[in-house]
Structure 1
């Protein structure tokens, strides 16, 4: 599916994705950096016009800030999508650069929704479940301020990528984190999420996982988001790339299977051919709209 109003992903970049994809996991940091650079060029060729309110604080820590992306022609009671960036639990920023990851929130604003792009506290300063507690604070802020901004408090969605997917899923599924009131969101979108904590040799970010979850392997299952799904878990959309950081595709598949087991039907699940862990979010708001259209369909009918 394509969107002719947005810049296309050039054939040269599509070829690059195919070239580095099979060896993606051998040098994740360099590949992530390359993808941010390449997709920023595309977004820079057609700068968005969305009105953005930046640097809203939601706590005393310097990282407890978010930006709001305002849709131009929204109807009252429209959805809000809160995006949680990745960064292997120890790094990352809602504005990796001028275009990444704001492209995600610009995309939703173009389609009549509000967007929040949030930072959260990082390990090792903040350990499990600190990042998910930050999400809880932002969700409550979004509910409290829904009327002032025009979105519906009953149509708040979380979208997390990579470590952000783990943090969002822990908030959504783990009753110890969201509390007796429940997560109070309409749905969760996990994009290439490391929803199981592991210290396996296959994981190039195992030390960073330990910085957030600790190095006691016997406790990791209980801290993993995937371990807390239940029959009443929020509607969930799951997407993964053909070329993922090691083990992430396994964990996304495990999440889909566990949700299917307890809910007795399969959640929306998308495997995106030709893309890698970083291009999954980098290509959002380009002419290539397959993932974006699937996300919008889920938001319209989160089941």
Structure 2
């Protein structure tokens, strides 16, 4: 297990102290705590996005399907596009299955793709349909459709279609894991990926009393709790046959850290038993970070997780 040190170093001492205070009680009011984190990182991310020397090309709201939410944004530097053969990073945002967008407040989630574009990658930010209009397995189906679009257009964007890496946060992580492992999606896995990163992913469908997002789980996975195990990515974790990295924050939404560890353990056990693929999965805990800051910090000056992901991609 890799434990990353000295996080939050780009925040003021006052904000670091405030983050520490809310860490222990993060799950009691995740909406208020999420807003505090977003407000802390937005100015830092905005300053980076407004860098006049940035040179990042952004293609907005490209359709990969007929629904109004089946849209994606592409971030790529001119030099990367012209050189070609770049790694492609496809990011799927969170939102408790009920909400969220690829560009919350015009900065957050853009920051993930913008940072990877700065590192010489083609970065794609995916928006998808939401529950209850689009219940399980619609989110994973949208991941499949977005990946097909990326594979088709990768070369024109400067990317290598054999080097597509899939990254999902929170509910987006559930959709990524479902795409990779659930037998219900087997026929739709037409675009192979070179590796995947699950960040604070909801890999278990539960409606426990202290799950603050139980309503979202019901809306997406259905009212019949007897089906939850069959629809939970953890059930099929051993089916994942691509290099995998699992990331959790120290201060998570209830149970997501434990679920992430269980997912890692199951994949590792299967790979040890079968020897396929040879490389063991990675597990990363982001100390002092929480469920929101674990992605909100990208392109703010802190590069600990980003560098670990690049090392994973390029290993």
Q: Same fold judged by TM-score > 0.5?
A: yes
Aligned to 1:24: 26
Deviations 1:145-189 (A, max 9, x none): 122112111111111000000011100112321427565111111
TM normalised by structure 1 equals 0.94
Query: Structure 1 residue 269 and structure 2 residue 283: aligned?
Result: yes
TM-aligned CA distance change 1:142 to 1:151, over 3 Å: same
8 Å CA contact retained: 2:91, 2:113 = yes
User: Structure 2 CA distance, aligned partners of 1:28 and 1:85?
Assistant: 17
Deviation at 1:53, TM superposition (A): 0.6
8 Å CA contact retained: 1:82, 1:156 = yes
Query: Structure 1 residue 286 and structure 2 residue 300: aligned?
Result: yes
Deviation at 1:56, TM superposition (A): 0.4
TM-aligned CA distance change 1:276 to 1:232, over 3 Å: closer
Deviation at 1:266, TM superposition (A): 4.3
Which of 233, 243, 253 pairs up with 1:235? 243
8 Å CA contact retained: 2:96, 2:171 = yes
CA RMSD for the aligned pairs? 1.7
Structure 1 unaligned residues grouped into runs of 5+: none
Aligned to 1:70: 76
8 Å CA contact retained: 2:144, 2:189 = no
8 Å CA contact retained: 2:180, 2:189 = no
Q: Name the count of aligned residue pairs.
A: 297
Aligned to 2:275: none
User: Structure 1 CA distance, aligned partners of 2:160 and 2:184?
Assistant: 26
Deviations 1:93-138 (A, max 9, x none): 1111121010000010000001111110000000000011011001
Which of 43, 61, 73 pairs up with 2:67? 61
200-209 or 19-28: bigger deviation: 200-209
User: Structure 2 CA distance, aligned partners of 1:109 and 1:223?
Assistant: 34
Query: Structure 1 residue 139 and structure 2 residue 144: aligned?
Result: no
Aligned to 2:41: 39
- Which secondary structure does the structure 2 equivalent of 1:123 belong to? coil
Query: Structure 1 residue 52 and structure 2 residue 58: aligned?
Result: yes
For 1:119-138, list aligned pairs within 5 A: 119-138=127-146
TM normalised by structure 2 equals 0.90
Deviations 1:224-243 (A, max 9, x none): 11111236522111110100
Deviation at 1:46, TM superposition (A): 2.8
8 Å CA contact retained: 2:180, 2:240 = no
Deviations 1:23-70 (A, max 9, x none): 000001111122112110111233253210101011121111110001
TM-aligned CA distance change 1:14 to 1:210, over 3 Å: same
Structure 2 unaligned residues grouped into runs of 5+: 273-278
Deviation at 1:16, TM superposition (A): 1.6
Aligned to 1:105: 113
8 Å CA contact retained: 2:179, 2:189 = no
Aligned to 1:167: 175
User: Structure 2 CA distance, aligned partners of 1:27 and 1:46?
Assistant: 29
- Which secondary structure does the structure 1 equivalent of 2:94 belong to? coil
Deviation at 1:287, TM superposition (A): 2.0
